[in-house]
C-alpha cells in the first residue's frame, strides 16, 4: 500500500487570496511510494502526520487542493479521499473544542462573585414616598433591621427562624435574595420584594399604574415619578452600582417595567376574587373620588424622626392635603 501523507510547510505564502498573503501551513499529498507497509502501520503514520499539521497555529492552505480538484484530468483514488476527509473532520473537531474552552475560560472570581445590598448606604439616601391611597413611607423602613446593616452575600441564615411569626411591617427574609450576580435579575428581585410589602400595606395598590399615556391604562391611578426616582436611587446606592445618568436611566426603566408587571398580576388576582373587570371599575371610582375629595383616604402616614420630611416642593398635592386633614 503506497503511503500518502499530509506534509506541513512552515514558511510559504498562501495561494488563497482571502488570506492576504499570510504565512500558512499548506496541506499536500505525497505521491511518492515509500514501500509497502501493513495496514496498521499505514494508519498510524497517516494519523501522526495529520496531528502534526493540526499542531500549527497558522492557517491551513487548502487552495492547492481546490485547484487540483478543478483540473479536467484529475483522478482521486479512494485513499486520498479518505485522508482528506479525515483531516477535515479532525479540523472541525479541533475548532469545536477550542470554542468550548473559550466559553469556560473565565476566572472563577468572575463567575461566582456576588454583591450584597448595603442597607446602611441605602438608608442614607432614602426619602419618604407618597402613594395616592394615603400611604407615605420610607422604603428602607420596611427592610428587616434584624438582619443587620449588611445583607449577606451567599447563604444567609433564614430570618425569622422556622416556626416564629414574621414581625409586622418587615420584608420576608430579603437577605436571602438581595444579592447581585446578574444585575437585571437582582434589580427585579429587590423591586418585587418591595412591591409585595407595599401591596400588603396599601389596599389600593392594584389600582395604580406606572407613568403612562396609553389610553387603556389611564383609568388607573398613575404613580408619581418621585416614587420611581427614589427606588432607583436605593437600588443604585444599595448595590454600589455606577451612578451616571445613563445607568440610572436604564435602572429606572427596568424598575418601572418590574412594577408594572407586578401590578398586572395583582389586577388579575383582584379580578379573579371580585369578578371580571372589577379592578378597572374600582380604579375608575377611586380616581373619581380622589378628584372630588382627596381627603377621603384613611390616615396611614408612617412615623418619621422628622415629619417635615414629608413636605417637598416636588411632591404632588396629595401629601400636604392629606397631612392637613
CA distance 293 to 298: 12
In a domain, 87, yes or no: yes
**Predicted confidence (pLDDT) at residue 262 exceeds the cutoff of 90:** yes
If phi > 0 it is left, if psi is from -120 to 50 it is alpha, else beta; for residue 275 that is left
Question: Using one digit for the tens of pLDDT, what is the confidence trace for 71-121?
Answer: 767 676 777 777 777 777 777 777 767 666 555 555 544 444 677 888 888
Same domain, 92 and 172: no
Burial class (CB in 10 A: 0-12, 13-18, 19+), 136: buried
The residue count for the chain? 325
Same domain, 93 and 120: no
- Number of domains comprising the chain: 2
Question: Using one digit for the tens of pLDDT, what is the confidence trace for 163-209?
Answer: 555 444 444 444 445 777 688 888 898 899 889 888 888 889 999 99
CA distance 186 to 233: 15
**Which has the closest alpha carbon to 223: 205, 236, 235?**
205
Q: Are 264 and 220 spatial neighbours (Cβ–Cβ below 8 Å)?
A: no
Same domain, 44 and 126: no
Mean pLDDT of 18-23: 50
**Domain termination site, one of 72, 105, 138:** 105
Residue 224 or 87, more confident: 224
Q: Are 189 and 203 spatial neighbours (Cβ–Cβ below 8 Å)?
A: no
What local confidence, expressed as pLDDT, does residue 8 receive?
37
Q: Is the dihedral of CA 285, 291, 296, 302 positive or negative?
A: positive
Same domain, 61 and 130: no
Angle between helices 39-54 and 78-103 (to 10 degrees): 40
Residue 230 — very low, low, confident or very high, per pLDDT cuts 50/70/90?
Answer: very high
What local confidence, expressed as pLDDT, does residue 34 receive?
47
Same domain, 51 and 169: no
Same domain, 300 and 162: yes
CA distance 270 to 281: 11
CA distance 163 to 99: 50
Same domain, 130 and 206: yes
CA distance 240 to 117: 8
Same domain, 303 and 243: yes
Print the domain residue range for 210: 112-323
Amino acid at each position: 500500500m503506497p503511503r500518502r501523507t499530509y506534509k506541513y510547510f512552515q514558511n510559504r505564502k498562501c495561494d488563497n487570496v482571502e488570506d492576504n498573503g499570510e504565512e500558512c501551513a499548506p496541506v499536500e499529498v505525497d505521491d511518492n511510494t515509500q514501500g509497502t507497509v501493513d495496514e496498521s502501520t499505514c494508519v498510524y503514520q497517516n494519523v501522526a502526520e495529520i496531528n502534526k499539521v493540526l499542531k500549527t497555529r497558522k492557517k491551513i492552505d487548502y487552495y492547492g487542493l481546490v485547484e487540483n480538484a478543478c483540473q479536467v484530468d484529475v483522478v482521486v483514488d479512494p485513499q486520498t479521499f479518505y485522508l482528506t476527509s479525515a483531516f477535515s473532520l479532525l479540523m472541525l473537531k479541533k475548532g469545536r473544542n477550542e470554542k468550548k474552552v473559550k466559553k469556560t475560560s473565565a476566572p472563577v472570581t468572575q463567575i461566582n462573585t456576588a454583591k450584597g445590598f448595603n442597607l446602611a448606604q441605602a438608608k442614607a439616601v432614602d426619602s419618604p414616598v407618597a402613594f395616592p391611597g394615603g400611604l407615605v413611607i420610607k422604603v428602607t423602613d420596611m427592610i428587616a433591621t434584624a438582619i443587620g446593616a449588611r445583607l449577606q452575600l451567599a447563604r444567609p441564615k433564614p430570618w425569622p427562624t422556622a416556626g416564629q411569626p414574621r414581625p409586622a411591617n418587615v420584608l420576608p427574609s430579603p437577605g436571602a435574595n438581595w444579592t447581585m450576580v446578574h444585575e437585571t435579575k437582582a434589580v427585579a428581585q429587590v423591586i418585587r420584594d418591595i412591591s409585595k410589602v407595599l401591596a400588603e400595606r396599601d389596599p389600593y395598590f392594584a389600582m395604580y399604574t406606572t407613568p403612562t399615556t396609553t389610553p387603556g391604562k389611564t383609568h388607573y391611578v398613575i404613580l408619581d415619578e418621585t416614587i420611581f426616582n427614589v427606588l432607583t436611587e436605593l437600588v443604585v446606592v444599595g448595590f454600589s452600582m455606577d451612578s451616571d445618568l445613563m445607568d440610572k436611566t436604564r435602572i429606572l426603566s427596568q424598575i418601572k417595567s418590574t412594577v408594572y408587571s407586578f401590578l398586572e398580576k395583582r389586577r388579575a388576582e383582584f379580578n379573579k376574587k371580585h369578578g371580571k373587570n372589577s379592578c378597572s371599575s374600582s380604579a375608575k371610582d377611586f380616581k373619581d373620588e380622589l378628584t372630588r375629595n382627596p381627603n377621603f383616604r384613611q390616615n396611614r402616614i408612617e412615623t418619621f424622626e422628622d415629619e417635615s420630611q414629608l413636605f417637598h416642593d416636588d411632591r404632588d398635592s396629595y401629601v400636604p392635603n392629606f397631612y392637613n386633614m
